[in-house]
């Protein structure tokens, strides 16, 4: 349809005859006039079928929601008093000349304006993804993803493809899905691109990857999904964890700015505001955060090895109030509680040069400096009760010379969910998988 005009561009064609196409959003019969709101991916417009155009009027009278049509019509300016300000195409209306039906639709399972519970929303995703709210969420997600990548490229990073199929559950920790591979062998789904991005430091120094990772955790919270899109980077030749933190901070800021500039009304539409970005994100050690929790909120958390979700929310509240920031870094988690490759703080080896980034109450990123010395890493693997032989492929990078390095990992769905203050991460996941659902409920 080479002459088709997108609905968002109609205001440039007032007085002209145009071809548009889309889905019937709603039909309203007002006496002899039939009004049709037509929707394409760029927006909506009101059209009117006049009784004088008998053929078009007859077709218009049969249209139902979600029928797909192509329309020839005149773009008429509305009279002054009919103009709807602050609404796309509020100043114009299409007078229908001709309608071609491209596709009919069966009766919808529910009224489109009904507020659906999450399970119904997910059961009907092929239909509900067409709502403005859903398509807005995923347009914002596309913007975040591209801005994040663009920021990393500008900071000297190169993208690579990290595999989803791996040979073993090497890292331990997260629950892992197993796959029936060839010849009765088992393979596994990656829980992280960690080892591969460390390997790629040898090729690019600064690799990044957008990787699918898989967690077989039996969690049915608003924060967990089984298939996650991770935005991971790693960088060689660092002095300490502050260098990847600075890269991350820039990428996060660039992503927020891109959402704000590409989607001007989005924060208002989602009843939130543009996230607060201070000149520098506040940085607290875990102990400092716990001291604030005690002093400001009366919570006895000092000495705990990680932060409770509720405490993450409170420390974010504190940062927003005291540091004008919707983001806060927590560093120096206990070395024993982080992944085996985490680099210990030389001044206090019980704590590690690790960090989490919290955003509006939720951890969206985790990172650290990594151990780069071969013998030290082998010892660490043994001390965790694991077998270095199972890591022989990965350990090659250290055996053959690895610079000091570190990196971080951001969950795209969590980042998106907090950007728009969505209450459930599944709303920020185009096709969420969890213990109960892959497209359809598994119990069905």
16 as an active site residue: the answer is: no
Q: Which of 47, 51, 56 is nearest to 10 (CA)?
A: 47
Among 226, 366, 408, 409, which one carries the catalytic annotation? Answer: 366
- Report the distance separating Cα 255 and Cα 144, nearest Å: 5
Asked if 380 touches its own copies (CB under 8 A), the answer is no
Positive or negative, the CA dihedral 65, 66, 71, 75 is positive
Binder of its own copies out of 148, 214, 355, 415 (CB under 8 A): 214
Asked if 430 touches its own copies (CB under 8 A), the answer is yes
- Report the distance separating Cα 245 and Cα 240, nearest Å: 9
DSSP 115: P
Asked if 88 touches its own copies (CB under 8 A), the answer is no
Among 312, 363, 409, 427, which one carries the catalytic annotation? Answer: 363
Q: Which of 286, 273, 272, 282 is nearest to 325 (CA)?
A: 282
Part of the chain binding its own copies (CB under 8 A), chosen from 45-53, 90-98, 118-126, 354-362: 118-126
**What is the enclosing helix (H) or strand (E) of 410?**
strand 405-411
Binder of its own copies out of 36, 166, 293, 319 (CB under 8 A): 166
Site for its own copies in 8-37 (CB under 8 A): 21, 23-24
Binder of its own copies out of 11, 13, 97, 212 (CB under 8 A): 212
Asked if 43 touches its own copies (CB under 8 A), the answer is no
Asked if 270 touches its own copies (CB under 8 A), the answer is no
Q: How many residues does the chain have?
A: 444
Asked if 148 touches its own copies (CB under 8 A), the answer is no
Asked if 68 touches its own copies (CB under 8 A), the answer is yes
Asked if 199 touches its own copies (CB under 8 A), the answer is yes
Taking each helix axis as running N to C, give the angle between helix 286-297 and helix 309-323, from 0 to 180 degrees, rounded to the nearest 10.
80
Asked if 106 touches its own copies (CB under 8 A), the answer is yes
Provide, rounded to whole angstroms, the least separation between the CB of residue 68 and its own copies.
5
Annotated binding residue at 257? no
Part of the chain binding its own copies (CB under 8 A), chosen from 210-218, 266-274, 306-314, 317-325: 210-218
CB 7 within 8 A of CB 40: yes
Query: In Å, how far are 41, 134, 136 from 130, measured between CA atoms?
Result: 8, 7, 10
Q: How far apart are the first and last CA of the chain?
A: 41
Residue 433 CB-density burial (10 A; 0-12 exposed, 13-18 middle, 19+ buried): middle
Residue 245 CB: number of other CB atoms within 10 A?
23
**Residue entry with tokens 């009843």:** 271
Among 57, 206, 414, 418, which one carries the catalytic annotation? Answer: 414
Part of the chain binding its own copies (CB under 8 A), chosen from 10-18, 205-213, 314-322, 351-359: 205-213
Q: 388 or 404: whose CB is closer to its own copies?
A: 404
Annotated binding residue at 15? no
Asked if 118 touches its own copies (CB under 8 A), the answer is no
User: What is the distance, to the nearest Å, from the Cα of residue 64 to the centroid of all Cα atoms in its chain?
Assistant: 34
Binder of its own copies out of 192, 229, 255, 352 (CB under 8 A): 229
414 as an active site residue: the answer is: yes
Annotated binding residue at 406? no
Binder of its own copies out of 77, 108, 302, 305 (CB under 8 A): 108
CB 403 within 8 A of CB 201: yes
- Report the distance separating Cα 443 and Cα 42, nearest Å: 37
- Report the distance separating Cα 192 and Cα 370, nearest Å: 15
| Tokens linked to 110 | 């529910």
Total residues contacting its own copies by CB under 8 A comes to 100
Residue 186, helix vs strand vs coil? strand
Site for its own copies in 278-317 (CB under 8 A): none
Part of the chain binding its own copies (CB under 8 A), chosen from 130-138, 261-269, 298-306, 380-388: 130-138
Bind-site residues: 171, 215-217, 363, 366, 370, 411-414
Query: Residues with catalytic annotation?
Result: 215, 217, 223-224, 363, 366, 414
Bind-site residues for L-aspartate: 171, 215, 366, 370
């Amino acid at each position: 349809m080479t002459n088709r005009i997108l609905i968002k561009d109609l205001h440039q064609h007032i007085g002209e005859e145009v071809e548009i196409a889309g889905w019937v959003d709603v039909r309203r019969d007002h006496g002899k006039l039939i009004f049709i709101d037509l929707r394409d991916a760029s927006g909506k417009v009101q059209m009117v079928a006049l009784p004088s155009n008998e053929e078009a009027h007859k077709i218009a009278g049969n249209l139902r929601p979600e029928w797909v049509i192509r329309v020839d019509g005149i773009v008429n300016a509305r009279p002054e008093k009919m103009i709807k300000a602050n609404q796309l195409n509020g100043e114009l209306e299409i007078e229908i000349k001709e309608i071609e039906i491209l596709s009919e639709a069966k009766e919808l399972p529910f009224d489109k304006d009904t507020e659906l519970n999450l399970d119904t929303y997910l059961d009907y995703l092929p239909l509900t993804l067409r709502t403005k709210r859903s398509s807005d969420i995923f347009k914002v997600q596309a913007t975040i993803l591209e801005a994040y990548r663009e920021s990393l490229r500008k900071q000297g990073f190169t993208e690579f493809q990290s595999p989803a199929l791996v040979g073993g559950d090497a890292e331990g920790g997260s629950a892992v899905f197993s796959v029936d591979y060839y010849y009765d062998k088992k393979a596994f789904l990656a829980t992280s691109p960690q080892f591969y991005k460390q390997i790629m430091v040898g090729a690019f120094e600064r690799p990044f990857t957008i990787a699918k990772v898989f967690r077989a955790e039996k969690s049915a919270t608003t924060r967990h999904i089984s298939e996650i899109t991770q935005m991971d980077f790693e960088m060689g030749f660092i002095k300490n964890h502050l260098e990847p933190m600075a890269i991350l901070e820039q990428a996060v800021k660039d992503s927020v700015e891109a959402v704000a500039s590409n989607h001007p009304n989005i924060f208002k539409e989602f009843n939130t505001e543009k996230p607060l970005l201070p000149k520098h994100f506040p940085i607290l050690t875990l102990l400092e955060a716990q001291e604030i929790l005690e002093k400001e909120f009366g919570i006895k958390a000092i000495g705990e090895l990680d932060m409770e979700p509720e405490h993450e929310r409170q420390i974010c509240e504190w940062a927003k109030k005291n540091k004008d920031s919707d983001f806060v870094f927590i560093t120096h988690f206990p070395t024993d509680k982080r992944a085996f490759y985490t680099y210990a703080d030389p001044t206090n080896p019980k704590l590690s040069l690790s960090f989490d980034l919290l955003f509006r109450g939720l951890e969206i990123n985790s990172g650290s400096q990594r151990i780069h010395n071969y013998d030290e890493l082998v010892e660490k693997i043994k001390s965790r009760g694991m077998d270095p032989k199972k890591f022989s492929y990965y350990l090659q990078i250290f055996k053959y010379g690895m610079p000091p390095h570190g990196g971080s990992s951001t969950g795209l769905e969590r980042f998106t969910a907090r950007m728009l203050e969505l209450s459930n991460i599944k709303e920020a996941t185009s096709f969420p998988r969890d213990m109960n659902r892959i497209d359809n409920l598994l119990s069905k």
